């Protein structure tokens, strides 16, 4: 949605007033996808336009005024809802609502690493807009992005401590899991059940990074094209491709849950070894296949700890 002329005049006026108030405030520079961005050292009015930006901000003790809804939902992801009461929805993962963003009168916008140049050009007229340089589909890319958001919020040291705590927790889980399970017993597939069927998630997305860091060996079944986060939907005839020692099975919403319940009644599903071994782990798709960030990492580690406590003797 584009800004109409009266709205953008109002936004620019507010921006000028804010600039006059903070004219003598110190600033720091952040290197972003679209060049160096000057950010006030003490920003107050934040809008986040990606799930990882929201997660990082909340983890650092900064509650945004506005955020986008999670994929497949109409609010933020369930794992973070308790900490985001009062945050206004300003779009979805697919489309930002520019008028809603402008209405927050932000002094900083934390955007997705995948924000296109044309949208950046508009948003940067509202407030300094930080778009991280994405390292692409590589291991631990979420950490690089989280550090950029922390730098923008002038809280890099705090983020380093948060990330160090996560690494310590991953290492502790890895030690006990690898001591209890052989290599063959640690293969794991993450799939999301959609109304069209299951899609296999890449071994190089956020949640599989965390899963691998705890000792599991990710099996993406060789069905994902290079650079893509997941496969196309598999038919029930090809369901054996998700048959690892462990199957972490996610759904995003009620439509996906209904489709999964229907599939469970099929012979193709019940014949899977992982089903016979009772090692299908139901997980929240909003967390496991859409979210990223320090709080999401802890939530996933909570799930893995539960698997260990209940399933690994």
pTM: 0.89
User: What H or E segment, with its residue span, contains residue 9?
Assistant: helix 5-21
pLDDT of residue 11: 52
Query: What DSSP character marks residue 3?
Result: P
Selection from 56-65, 66-75, 186-195 with the highest mean pLDDT: 56-65
Pairing, β 27-32 against β 35-40: antiparallel
Q: Output the furthest CA–CA distance in the chain (Å, rounded).
A: 69
d(CA 35, CA 10): 26
For a pLDDT cut of 90, what percent of the chain falls above it?
73
Find, among 155, 104, 157, 148, the residue nearest to 130 by Cα: 148
Query: What DSSP character marks residue 201?
Result: B
pLDDT of residue 10: 54
Give the bridge partners for 230, in sequence order.
201
Token pair 């979420």 is at which residue?
A: 142
- Which residues lie closer than 8 Å to 241 by C-beta, 6 or more apart? 200, 221, 222, 223, 234
For a pLDDT cut of 70, what percent of the chain falls above it?
92
Q: Does the pLDDT value for residue 3 go beyond 50?
A: no
> In a 10 Å sphere around its CB, with 0-12 CB exposed, 13-18 middle and 19+ buried, how is residue 148 labelled?
buried
Cα atoms found within 13 Å of the Cα of residue 133, Cβ hemisphere only = 9
pLDDT confidence bin for 1, thresholds 50/70/90: very low
d(CA 273, CA 52): 35
pLDDT of residue 2: 42
pLDDT of residue 9: 55
Query: What DSSP character marks residue 237?
Result: G
**Tens-digit pLDDT profile for residues 43-54:** 999 999 999 999
């Amino acid at each position: 949605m584009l800004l109409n002329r009266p709205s953008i005049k109002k936004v620019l006026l507010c921006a000028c007033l804010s600039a006059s108030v903070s004219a003598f405030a110190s600033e720091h520079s952040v290197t972003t996808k679209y060049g160096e961005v000057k950010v006030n050292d003490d920003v107050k009015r934040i809008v986040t336009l990606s799930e990882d930006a929201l997660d990082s901000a909340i983890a650092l003790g900064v509650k945004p005024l506005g955020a986008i809804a999670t994929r497949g939902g109409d609010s933020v992801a369930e794992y973070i809802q308790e900490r985001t009461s009062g945050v206004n929805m300003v779009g979805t993962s697919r489309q930002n609502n520019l008028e809603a963003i402008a209405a927050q009168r932000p002094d900083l916008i934390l955007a997705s690493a995948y924000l296109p140049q044309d949208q950046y050009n508009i948003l940067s007229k509202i407030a300094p807009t930080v778009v991280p340089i994405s390292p692409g589909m590589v291991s631990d890319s979420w950490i690089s992005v989280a550090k950029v958001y922390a730098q923008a919020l002038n809280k890099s040291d705090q983020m380093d401590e948060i990330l160090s705590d996560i690494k310590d927790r991953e290492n502790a889980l890895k030690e006990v899991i690898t001591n209890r399970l052989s290599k063959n017993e640690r293969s794991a597939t993450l799939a999301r059940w959609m109304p069209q069927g299951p899609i296999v998630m890449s071994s190089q997305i956020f949640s599989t990074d965390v899963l691998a860091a705890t000792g599991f060996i990710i099996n993406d079944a060789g069905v994902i094209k290079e650079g893509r986060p997941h496969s196309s939907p598999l038919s029930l005839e090809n369901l054996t491709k998700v048959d690892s020692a462990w199957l972490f099975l996610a759904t995003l919403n009620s439509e996906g849950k209904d489709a999964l319940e229907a599939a469970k009644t099929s012979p193709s599903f019940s014949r899977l070894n992982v089903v016979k071994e009772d090692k299908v782990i139901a997980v929240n798709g909003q967390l496991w296949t859409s979210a990223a960030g320090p709080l999401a990492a802890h939530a996933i580690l909570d799930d893995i700890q539960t698997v260990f406590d209940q399933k690994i003797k």
